[in-house]
């Protein structure tokens, strides 16, 4: 054992302590995954060394083939995993093995319930990596040295997975990392060659470098060789380079867990080799659940990039648009230079062409899932629907294709479930209907009974009900689908086209003429609060409604801008009245001008509340309403 110097004891980050406790107590039912996590880390370390060695070949230190070795000692109850990858220096050891440098950690911990089964799923969603070793080990030791540094720059890290860990400097002649697990009582099964082979085949067969175990010798002791013989127990070939017909579903699923750092199987995947003008292979996955940092657009994302099977980078985000940032997988190109860098990857015809083709492949995969596996697509939509809604604004070329993948609640659906596609809607158009109607709002409960829907209910016309905060912004880019215009039923002067008969239109015009005097009185009473007052064609039951000007911001967009501290452009609503409603008839006949003004303001404020807006002057509304109630009770 090397002499230890510069020894110090450090405390774990608070989140690490919590995560260790939860993992040790929640993942007991699937303990063997610790080996998959450690092998995955070792594979990443080899990938990073390959990449850094492109610029600095001396990091390879003699050129030993990259590999991972597993060994065990039944008597000492230890399991050792060793790689000759990039290794770590002292600062990296403290940073990587003492903290969780991952966005969303606090959110993750908030979501933990104490229910072991539920928390097990959440931990899988978050990813556990190195710390999973403590599921089976009472103590973990790490011996490591970064490639290119002196043998004296080795580091020894040790912890029992409780409050702290020790770090010391040691001599380590070989680069890379050796992890020694001192197994807990009852976990001796992991110091067994047959058991380890099975776990490697099950979870890590796809790892592209050899995973070696000591060769088992049966028979007499004297027949055993003096030196350990090693044998490779995995295929040791990059899974994406194999023909699709040779790869089982289980292998695709395990490879996803490696690249996606997920515990659950993906919903779908697409493995494709492109030959011809461009040559590359892609293996793309749709996850089954959203990561915690999905809505942080600046969070790390992208595909693992390889060039001619040499790892280049972990999060190459240039190959898919931002609205598909949830896709995981690998792209391996023959057409990019081996010394490729982030700067080179920013643009260029090869990158643009690959991005266009990979985007289309993902959208095709989602289309196929929606058609062939609707239940899976429901899961996908629940997890990633709001992110996909960013697509029409970002990707003009695929706008129609993305629009076909969107799902909405509707007046024809059951409750607030978002399961209606635009194609479904078009299949239910009324005779003479040439538009797709929708209404946006803060919540399903608020808009399902909106007065804006009254005429549509009366005529049996379906309206899409949009309640995600992004929806109004989405619809400013998605103005038509399959040649049909999308129309906000709360905006502008509602024109139902051929859905209104000539008789209806004539009757509306005649009624509007009879109410011209009332319209003028209302304009005078409401003054600067309104852009216009007019007779409504939308209402059947309510006395009045507020409509939005054709070019004005809707309530959703105003609230988003206000919440972000931005200045909201001035706009005034259009006040529409239902001429056949008893309250409007009573208002029309009101001789007392002061009372007329009070009643007009009460109707205006009630219309604002029905639209989901807040009152500018709630005290005046209450005063007027109380005054009216006193008069009625006198």
Q: For 149-161, b where at least 16 C-beta lie within 10 A, e where not — what string?
A: beeebbbbbbbeb
Contact 590, 613 (CB under 8 A): no
The yes-or-no verdict on residue 285 having pLDDT over 90 is: yes
Question: How long a stretch of residues is the chain?
Answer: 634
| 390 domain residue, yes or no | no
Burial (Cβ within 10 Å: 0-12, 13-18, ≥19) of residue 347: exposed
Predicted pLDDT at 321? 93
Count the alpha carbons within 13 Å of 58 in the hemisphere toward its beta carbon: 3
Q: For 558-577, b where at least 16 C-beta lie within 10 A, e where not — what string?
A: bbbeeeeeeeeeeeebbbbb
Q: How confident is the model at residue 23 (pLDDT cuts 50, 70, 90)?
A: low
Range of weakest confidence among 278-282, 411-415, 553-557: 553-557
**Cα 110 to Cα 89: distance, rounded to the nearest angstrom:** 33
| 74 and 181 assigned to the same domain | yes
Range of weakest confidence among 46-50, 400-404, 612-616: 612-616
The yes-or-no verdict on residue 378 having pLDDT over 90 is: yes
| 389 domain residue, yes or no | no
Residue that terminates a domain, selected from 348, 382, 416: 382
- For the segment 204-240, what is each residue's pLDDT rounded down to a tens digit? 888 888 999 998 765 555 555 567 899 999 988 889 9
What token pair was written down for 292? 């915690």
CATH code of residue 71: 3.30.565.10
| 230 and 253 assigned to the same domain | no
Give the dihedral of Cα atoms 248, 254, 259, 260; nearest 10 deg: 120
| 203 domain residue, yes or no | yes
CATH code of residue 245: 3.30.230.80
Predicted pLDDT at 450? 86
**Cα 319 to Cα 37: distance, rounded to the nearest angstrom:** 27
Residue that terminates a domain, selected from 171, 201, 236: 236
Question: Which distant-in-sequence residues (6+ apart) come within 8 Å of 584 by Cβ?
Answer: 518, 543, 544, 577, 578
Residue that terminates a domain, selected from 315, 349, 382: 382
Predicted pLDDT at 338? 53
| 52 and 35 assigned to the same domain | yes
Using only C-alpha atoms, the chain has a radius of gyration, in whole angstroms, of 33
| 223 domain residue, yes or no | yes
Predicted pLDDT at 100? 57
Q: Which residue has the higher pLDDT, 418 or 122?
A: 418
Predicted pLDDT at 531? 84
Three-class DSSP category at 82: strand
| 511 domain residue, yes or no | yes
| 626 and 488 assigned to the same domain | no
Burial (Cβ within 10 Å: 0-12, 13-18, ≥19) of residue 382: middle
Highest mean pLDDT among 126-140, 394-408, 491-505: 394-408
| 120 and 263 assigned to the same domain | no
Count the alpha carbons within 13 Å of 438 in the hemisphere toward its beta carbon: 30
**Cα 256 to Cα 40: distance, rounded to the nearest angstrom:** 11
Range list of H helices, 478-581: 502-514, 516-526, 555-563
> Number of structural domains, the chain?
4
- For the segment 593-603, what is each residue's pLDDT rounded down to a tens digit? 888 888 889 89
Give me the domain span that covers residue 590.
500-633
| 394 domain residue, yes or no | no
Contact 312, 265 (CB under 8 A): no
| 482 and 522 assigned to the same domain | no
Q: How many helices (H) and strands (E) does the chain have?
A: 21, 22
pTM, two decimals, is 0.74
Sheet with 310-316: strands ordered across: 268-274, 280-286, 328-333, 303-307, 310-316
| 194 and 297 assigned to the same domain | no
Predicted pLDDT at 529? 86
Three-class DSSP category at 384: helix
| 482 and 509 assigned to the same domain | no
| 395 domain residue, yes or no | no
272 beta partners: 282
**Helix-, strand-, coil-residue percentages of the chain, each rounded to 5:** 45, 20, 35
Predicted pLDDT at 99? 64
Residue with tokens 């015009």: 509
Contact 373, 408 (CB under 8 A): no
Residue with tokens 């993992």: 23
Contact 15, 111 (CB under 8 A): no
Q: Which long-range contacts (CB under 8 A, 24 or more apart) does 611-618 make?
A: 611/450, 611/490, 611/545, 611/546, 611/555, 612/441, 612/442, 612/446, 612/447, 612/555, 613/546, 613/555
| 616 and 509 assigned to the same domain | yes
DSSP annotation string for 387-428: HHTTHHHH-GGGHHHHHHH--BEETTSSTT---B-HHHHHTT
Q: Which phi and psi (to 5°) does residue 537 adopt?
A: -105, 0
Contact 343, 319 (CB under 8 A): no
Predicted pLDDT at 614? 76
Total Cβ atoms within 10 A of residue 361: 17
**Cα 449 to Cα 162: distance, rounded to the nearest angstrom:** 55
Q: What angle do CA 40, 42, 46 make, to 5 degrees?
A: 115
Sheet with 154-159: strands ordered across: 5-11, 164-170, 154-159, 137-145, 176-183, 78-83, 68-73, 211-214, 230-232
The yes-or-no verdict on residue 368 having pLDDT over 90 is: yes
Question: Which distant-in-sequence residues (6+ apart) come within 8 Å of 340 by Cβ?
Answer: 305, 307, 312
Percent of the chain residues past pLDDT 70, beyond the cut: 85
| 257 and 207 assigned to the same domain | no
Predicted pLDDT at 297? 65
Q: Which residue has the higher pLDDT, 269 or 345?
A: 269
Helix axes 516-526, 593-610, angle to 10 degrees: 80
Range list of H helices, 470-514: 471-477, 502-514
Range list of H helices, 170-328: 193-203, 249-260
Predicted pLDDT at 196? 95
| 388 domain residue, yes or no | no
Q: Which residue has the higher pLDDT, 547 or 380?
A: 380
| 482 and 542 assigned to the same domain | no
| 213 and 257 assigned to the same domain | no
CATH code of residue 418: 3.40.50.11260
**Quick one: average pLDDT of 306-321?**
81
Closest C-alpha among 263, 253, 285 to residue 121? 263
Question: Which distant-in-sequence residues (6+ apart) come within 8 Å of 494 by Cβ?
Answer: 455, 537, 538, 547
Residue with tokens 């995947």: 269
């Amino acid at each position: 054992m090397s002499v230890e110097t510069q020894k110090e004891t450090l405390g774990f980050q608070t989140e690490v302590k919590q995560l260790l406790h939860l993992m040790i107590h929640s993942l007991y039912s699937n303990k063997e995954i610790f080996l998959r996590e450690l092998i995955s880390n070792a594979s990443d370390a080899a990938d990073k060394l390959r990449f850094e060695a492109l610029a600095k070949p001396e990091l390879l230190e003699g050129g030993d083939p990259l590999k991972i070795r597993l060994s065990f000692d039944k008597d000492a109850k230890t399991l050792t995993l060793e790689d000759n990858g990039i290794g770590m220096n002292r600062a990296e050891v403290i940073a990587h093995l003492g903290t969780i440098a991952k966005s969303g950690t606090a959110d993750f911990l908030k979501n933990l319930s104490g229910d072991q089964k539920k928390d097990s799923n959440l931990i899988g969603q978050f990813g556990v990596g190195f710390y999973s070793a403590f599921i089976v080990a009472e103590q973990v030791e790490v011996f490591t040295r970064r490639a290119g540094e002196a043998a004296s720059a080795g580091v020894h890290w040790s912890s029992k997975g409780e409050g702290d860990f020790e770090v010391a400097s040691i001599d380590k002649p070989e680069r890379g990392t050796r992890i020694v697990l001192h197994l807990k009582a009852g976990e001796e099964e992991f110091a067994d060659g047959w058991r380890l082979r099975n776990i490697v085949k099950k979870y890590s067969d796809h790892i592209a470098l050899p995973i070696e175990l000591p060769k088992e010798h049966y028979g007499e002791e004297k027949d055993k060789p003096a030196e350990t013989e090693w044998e490779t127990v995995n295929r040791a070939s990059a899974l994406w380079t194999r023909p699709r017909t040779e790869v089982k579903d289980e292998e695709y699923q395990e490879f996803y867990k490696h690249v996606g750092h997920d515990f659950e199987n993906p919903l779908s995947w697409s493995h494709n080799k492109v030959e011809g003008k461009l040559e590359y292979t892609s293996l793309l996955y749709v996850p089954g659940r959203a990561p915690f940092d999905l809505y942080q657009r600046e969070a790390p994302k992208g595909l693992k990039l390889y060039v001619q099977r040499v790892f280049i980078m972990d999060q190459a985000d240039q190959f898919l648009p931002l609205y598909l940032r949830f896709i995981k997988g690998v792209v391996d190109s023959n057409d990019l230079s081996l010394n490729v860098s982030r700067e080179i990857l920013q643009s260029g015809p090869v990158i643009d062409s690959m991005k266009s083709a990979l985007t289309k492949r993902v959208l095709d995969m989602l289309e196929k899932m929606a058609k062939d596996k609707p239940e899976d697509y429901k899961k996908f939509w629940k997890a990633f629907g709001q992110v996909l809604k960013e697509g029409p604004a970002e990707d003009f070329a695929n706008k129609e294709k993305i629009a076909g993948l969107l799902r909405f609640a509707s007046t024809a659906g059951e409750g607030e479930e978002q399961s209606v596609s635009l194609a479904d809607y078009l299949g239910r158009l009324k005779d003479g209907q040439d538009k797709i109607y929708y209404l946006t709002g803060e919540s399903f409960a608020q808009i399902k009974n909106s007065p804006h829907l009254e005429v549509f209910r009366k005529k049996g016309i379906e309206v899409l009900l949009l309640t995600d905060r992004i929806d109004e912004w989405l619809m400013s880019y998605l103005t038509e689908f399959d040649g049909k215009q999308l129309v906000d039923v709360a905006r502008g002067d509602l024109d139902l086209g051929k859905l209104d008969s000539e008789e209806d239109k004539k009757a509306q015009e005649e009624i509007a003429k009879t109410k011209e005097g009332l319209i003028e009185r209302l304009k005078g009473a409401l003054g600067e609060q309104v852009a216009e007052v007019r007779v409504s064609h939308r209402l059947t039951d309510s006395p009045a409604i507020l409509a939005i000007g054709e070019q004005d911001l809707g309530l959703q967009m105003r609230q988003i801008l206000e919440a972000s501290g931005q200045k909201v452009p001035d706009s005034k609503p259009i006040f529409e009245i239902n001429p056949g409603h008893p309250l409007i008839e009573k208002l029309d006949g009101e001789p007392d001008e002061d009372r007329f003004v009070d009643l007009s303001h009460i109707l205006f404020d009630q219309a604002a509340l029905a639209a989901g807006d807040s009152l500018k002057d709630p005290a005046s509304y209450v005063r007027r309403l109380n005054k009216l109630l006193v008069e009625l009770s006198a």
